[in-house]
Amino acid sequence: MKRSAFWPLVILLALLVPVLLINQVELGAQVWPTPSAHLFPTFTPTPSSTPEVVFGPTRSNPFPTFTPTPTRTATFVIRATQANPFPTFTPTATRTPRPTEPPPTFTPPPAAVAATFSEHYRLQRPVSSGDTNWIARNYPYGGTNGGTLQVHHGVEFVNPIGTPLLAAASGVILYAGSDSGVIFGPVPNYYGNLVVIQHDFTAPDGLPMFTLYGHMDRIDVQAGQTVRASQQIGTVGSSGIALGPHLHFEVRVGDPFDFGATRNPELWIRPFFEYGTLAGRVADAAGNPLYEVTIQIRSNELTRNAFSYGGPSVNPDPLLGENFTMGDLPADYYRVSVNDNGRIRFDEMVYVHPNRTTWVDVTLRP
């Protein structure tokens, strides 16, 4: 009985629901009311075939670009003026310390007539540039080391024992050995072990040219052997009469065995590049040569002392007639002076020319 009463009721409700829904739609009612604000809003992206990043374009620039903020950079501002429409850069002047003595003009003066002779720089240095290849200034040619030694007939290159010695020019070995039996100096065994080379050129007066290498330790050549310039002929020593190891170097003209046939090597050895040699004659007002006079040679960079020859036992160059020299001077202006117990007896500015010999007459005031 209960089963038959239930189903008629269900059928009745099914018929009534559509009627009620139609009536509500006609009256403007909503079947599912929509709230004014969603409790859980969702983001619905606009579909696009290609994803793109948008930077917020503006109307004037539909394709905006990224402009970085400029950094502060120091710049030079060169302003054009009305008088100079093309601006130029003017550097800031720097302070230059004023020298204690105004320097002379840069342009060298004309060479003195006596300095225009044909130089005979035919010799290289007998010691390499890696060793002491400059002449000792305390005992130059014609010097006496302040009156303590005999007049010097050569020059010295002070180096340790074993330093290589080189031929100053090409030639033939005239002698190689000790001078204990063959005399080259004032007494036997004066030079100890020595080498003498006769060169393949002559002096300006046509006489044969020789160079002598004394006080050697080891001799690497023999008589009659041909040598070339800068060829090693032995090593530095202290044989013979020598105060410590050094090379005693001489230039002899004419007779190689004559102790009095020497010339000043500084007038034959080629100066360093851009260096020159100063030569002169020290005399009194009457023209008489003066011996052992100290000549000061001073520039803004250096000061050196030269000494007139200590006596007539050494020879001047026949073309010059000098009685002092100072080699290896950088080309520059030099004040040449002689001070006699506080009294200036000579004072003159001289320009030493590079790669040549510059002459000065040193005539002392009474």
The stretch 201-225 carries a mean pLDDT of 98
Domain coordinates of the chain in residue numbers?
122-270, 272-366
Beta bridge partner(s), residue 340: 343
What pLDDT is attached to residue 86? 41
Q: What percent of the chain has pLDDT over 70?
A: 68
First CA to last CA distance, the chain: 173
Tokens of 217: 């330790």
Q: Is the pLDDT of residue 212 over 50?
A: yes
Tokens of 203: 């002096």
244 CB neighbour count, 10 Å cutoff: 10
Tokens of 139: 């005992």
Distance in angstroms (rounded) separating the CA atoms of residues 128 and 17: 128
Q: Is the pLDDT of residue 15 over 60?
A: no
Question: In three state form, how does the secondary structure of 92-157 look?
Answer: CCCCCCCCCCCCCCCCCCCCCHHHHCCCCCCECCCCCCCCCCCCCCCCCCCCCCCCCCCCCCCEEE
- Dihedral sign from CA coordinates of 142, 143, 147, 150: negative
What pLDDT is attached to residue 221? 99
The stretch 277-289 carries a mean pLDDT of 97
Distance in angstroms (rounded) separating the CA atoms of residues 366 and 296: 18
The stretch 149-171 carries a mean pLDDT of 98
Residue position matching structure tokens 């225009």: 116
213 or 90: whose pLDDT is higher?
A: 213
What pLDDT is attached to residue 263? 98
pLDDT band per the 50, 70, 90 thresholds, residue 287: very high
Tokens of 153: 């007939």
Q: Is the pLDDT of residue 340 over 60?
A: yes
- Side chain identity, residue 260: G
Q: Is the pLDDT of residue 13 over 80?
A: no
Whether the CB-CB separation of 135 and 155 falls below 8 Å is answered with yes
What pLDDT is attached to residue 141? 99
Distance in angstroms (rounded) separating the CA atoms of residues 165 and 246: 10
CA geometry: angle 119, 124, 130, nearest 5 deg: 140
Whether the CB-CB separation of 336 and 289 falls below 8 Å is answered with no
Tokens of 117: 């002779």
What pLDDT is attached to residue 118? 56
Q: Is the pLDDT of residue 74 over 80?
A: no
Distance in angstroms (rounded) separating the CA atoms of residues 355 and 150: 31
The stretch 238-265 carries a mean pLDDT of 98
| Overall CATH class of domain 122-270 | mainly beta
Q: Is the pLDDT of residue 37 over 90?
A: no
Q: Is the pLDDT of residue 53 over 80?
A: no
Distance in angstroms (rounded) separating the CA atoms of residues 13 and 98: 124
The stretch 150-174 carries a mean pLDDT of 99
Tokens of 207: 């006489």
pLDDT in tens, 169-209: 999 999 999 999 999 999 999 999 999 999 999 999 999 99
What pLDDT is attached to residue 119? 76
Q: Is the pLDDT of residue 339 over 60?
A: yes
The reply to whether the predicted model has a pTM over 0.85 is: no
Residue position matching structure tokens 């170097």: 249
Q: What percent of the chain has pLDDT over 90?
A: 67
pLDDT in tens, 225-248: 999 999 999 999 999 999 999 999
- Picking from 4-8, 46-50, 323-327, 356-360, which range would have the lowest pLDDT averaged per residue? 46-50
Whether the CB-CB separation of 193 and 233 falls below 8 Å is answered with no
pLDDT averaged over every residue in the chain: 80
CATH of domain 272-366: 2.60.40.1120
Residue position matching structure tokens 């230039």: 251
93 or 107: whose pLDDT is higher?
A: 107
Q: Is the pLDDT of residue 54 over 70?
A: no
What pLDDT is attached to residue 61? 43
| DSSP letters for 178-241 | ETTTS--SSSTTSSSEEEEEEEEEE-TTS-EEEEEEEEEEEE---TT-EE-TT-EEEEEB--SS
| DSSP letters for 238-301 | --SS-SSSBEEEEEEES-TT-TT-EE-GGGTBPPPTTEEEEEEEEE-TT--B-SS-EEEEE-SS
What pLDDT is attached to residue 25? 39
Tokens of 364: 């002392």
The stretch 15-37 carries a mean pLDDT of 42
Among 200, 193, 251, smallest CA distance to 218 is for 193
Q: Is the pLDDT of residue 140 over 90?
A: yes
- Side chain identity, residue 212: L
Name residues whose C-beta falls within 8 Å of residue 291's C-beta, 6 or more positions apart in sequence: 308, 309, 310, 311, 323
